[in-house]
Chain A
Amino acid sequence: MAKKLAIIASKGTLDWAYPPFILASTAAALDYEVQIFFTFYGLTLLKKEIDAQISPLGNPAMPMPVPMPNLVQMLPGMESMATMMMKQKMKDKGVASLPELRDLCQEAGVKMIACQMTVDLFDFKKEDFIEGIEFGGAATFFEFAGEADVSLFI
């Protein structure tokens, strides 16, 4: 029987969006059966257009080309600039884009579940999301995670 990987994706920034999709697609390539449960800010990763941003603010570990005090990072436009620079760097280094990784996950049969409670909480609409996903709650997650070999909260 195939091994199982259960992931909870709870964060929606560009940096935190990568681990769930990288691990899910790789596990699928290793013949794991995979489910990702998207909740809270992670839910935005299931939208048709992924608008994940990265912020250097309050993130002292983020490598910066020049040292930048928090006071400067607060200025308008800094976040979109950091996002743009990060995306460019990823492209230069041959790192897949998020939509590409998400497509690969779907092709590989990774099951994606949107947390219904969060959908209601943020007033999202079902048509905001990509095709081929399911909607469910905590019990839905546990039905799969209870038998999983690896469970991750990201």
Chain B
Amino acid sequence: MEFDKDLDARGLNCPLPILRVKKSLAEMTGGQVLRAVCTDSGSVKDFQAFCRQTGNDLLDSSEANGEFTFFIKKKA
């Protein structure tokens, strides 16, 4: 999937991945896509909850080798 900004949040634990995502999204414009990579297994549920509450669109989430990758489209 194509993305406009990349965030490496590996090795960080709750709530840092969410805070970093929030910061990254703030630097982007509506409709742009952020890719975030985490190792915090709690981030799967947290990113879903974050997107539901903030109105951003969680396009995709996947897991491979203990790394979780998320694609978030910033709300317009």
Does B bind A?
Answer: yes
B11 at the interface (CB under 8 A from A): yes
Number of interchain pairs (Cβ within 8 Å): 35
**A22 CA to B21 CA, complexed, in Å:** 15
Pairwise interchain contact B16-A96, C-beta atoms closer than 8 A: yes
Q: Which residue of the partner chain, among A22, A30, A93, A94, contacts B53 with CB atoms under 8 Å?
A: A30
Say what secondary structure dominates the interface of chain A.
loop
**Number of contact residues on A: which range applies?**
10 to 19
Pairwise interchain contact B50-A22, C-beta atoms closer than 8 A: no
Pairwise interchain contact B13-A29, C-beta atoms closer than 8 A: no
Q: Which residue of the partner chain, among A25, A29, A94, A95, contacts B50 with CB atoms under 8 Å?
A: A29
Pairwise interchain contact B16-A30, C-beta atoms closer than 8 A: no
**A119 CA to B39 CA, complexed, in Å:** 41
Which residues in B have some Cβ–Cβ distance to A below 8 Å?
A: 11-16, 18-19, 21-22, 39-40, 50, 53-54
Which residues in A have some Cβ–Cβ distance to B below 8 Å?
A: 22, 25-26, 29-31, 93-96, 104, 108
Interface pairs (21), CB distance under 8 Å: A22-B14, A22-B15, A25-B19, A26-B15, A26-B19, A29-B15, A29-B19, A29-B21, A29-B22, A29-B54, A31-B53, A31-B54, A93-B13, A94-B12, A94-B39, A95-B13, A95-B14, A96-B12, A96-B13, A96-B16, A108-B19
